[in-house]
């Protein structure tokens, strides 16, 4: 039964990631259509975001095929934390300094950036791998449980925010903080359980699978991508400083 579940997840993985990227790119275009930009500006803005996103995905996927993220006892610092930190810092700096992105976030409902993270529920793959004996519980349990919780809460929080009800802004802030905290815990435990000089836990069953091509796109691409979305969501909430402005944006 467990093996069949694992096989089904492996088979569905390309479909899930393709669907997620398609939804993000379609949502980006739908958001741009709500802006006052002319058609050419919308197209150029969409390409300015979509092309780097797809290139980033392709580079990570290609590196994974060459086992660039594999861990080993003699590695001083695993590659995955760098693959997370560099895109997050670079992406947020560039995006939050863009006037076009600021205009885009001012026109799309805050619920969009929250609801898309329902895909986090697929983090239960870590729990399945743990149950199958392929991942240490010190990493899989907090990472998998946290992802599932954040994903399950994404749609209710998005709907609450969309309703414009009192407390929606606070709920959105709290959910974003929870989502970021989940990633901090997962990345920390992933690093401390992986073979290398930083390994402190799971010495009898090191976390080697997340560096394989079968799983590495989750920590090396989707974790930084979702972290960037959290950052943009918090920026959007901050820009709608007054409660009346937030309720207006939520109902847009």
Integer Cα distance of 184 and 187 in angstroms: 5
CB atoms within 10 A of CB 212: 14
> pLDDT confidence of 249, banded at 50, 70, 90?
low
Say if residue 252's pLDDT is above 70. Answer: no
* Count of residues making up the chain: 252
Span 101-142, pLDDT tens digits: 999 999 999 999 999 999 999 999 999 999 989 999 999 999
Integer Cα distance of 211 and 224 in angstroms: 15
Span 17-75, pLDDT tens digits: 999 999 999 999 999 999 999 999 999 999 999 999 999 999 999 999 988 888 777 77
Integer Cα distance of 219 and 126 in angstroms: 11
- CA angle at residue 87 from 82 to 90, to 5 degrees? 120
- Provide the residue ranges of all domains of the chain, joining segments of one domain with +: 2-250
Mean pLDDT of 196-218: 86
Integer Cα distance of 201 and 215 in angstroms: 20
Integer Cα distance of 121 and 132 in angstroms: 18
């Amino acid at each position: 039964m467990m093996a069949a579940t694992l096989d089904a997840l492996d088979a569905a993985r390309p479909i899930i990631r393709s669907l997620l990227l398609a939804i993000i790119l379609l949502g980006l275009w739908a958001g741009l259509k709500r802006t006052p930009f002319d058609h050419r500006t919308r197209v150029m803005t969409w390409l300015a975001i979509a092309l780097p996103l797809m290139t980033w995905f392709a580079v990570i996927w290609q590196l994974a095929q060459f086992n660039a993220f594999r861990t080993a006892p003699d590695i001083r610092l695993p590659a995955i934390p760098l693959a997370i930190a560099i895109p997050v810092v670079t992406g947020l700096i560039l995006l939050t300094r863009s006037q076009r992105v600021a205009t885009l976030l001012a026109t799309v409902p805050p619920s969009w950036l929250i609801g898309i993270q329902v895909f986090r529920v697929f983090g239960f793959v870590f729990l399945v791998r743990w149950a199958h004996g392929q991942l240490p519980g010190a990493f899989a349990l907090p990472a998998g449980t946290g992802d599932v919780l954040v994903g399950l809460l994404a749609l209710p929080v998005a709907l609450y925010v969309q309703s414009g009800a009192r407390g929606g802004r606070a709920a959105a802030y709290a959910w974003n903080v929870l989502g970021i905290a989940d990633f901090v815990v997962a990345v920390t435990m992933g690093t401390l359980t992986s073979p290398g000089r930083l390994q402190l836990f799971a010495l009898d069953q090191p976390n080697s699978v997340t560096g394989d091509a079968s799983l590495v796109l989750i920590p090396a691409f989707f974790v930084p991508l979702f972290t960037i979305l959290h950052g943009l969501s918090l920026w959007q909430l901050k820009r709608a400083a007054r409660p009346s402005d937030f309720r207006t944006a939520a109902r847009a």
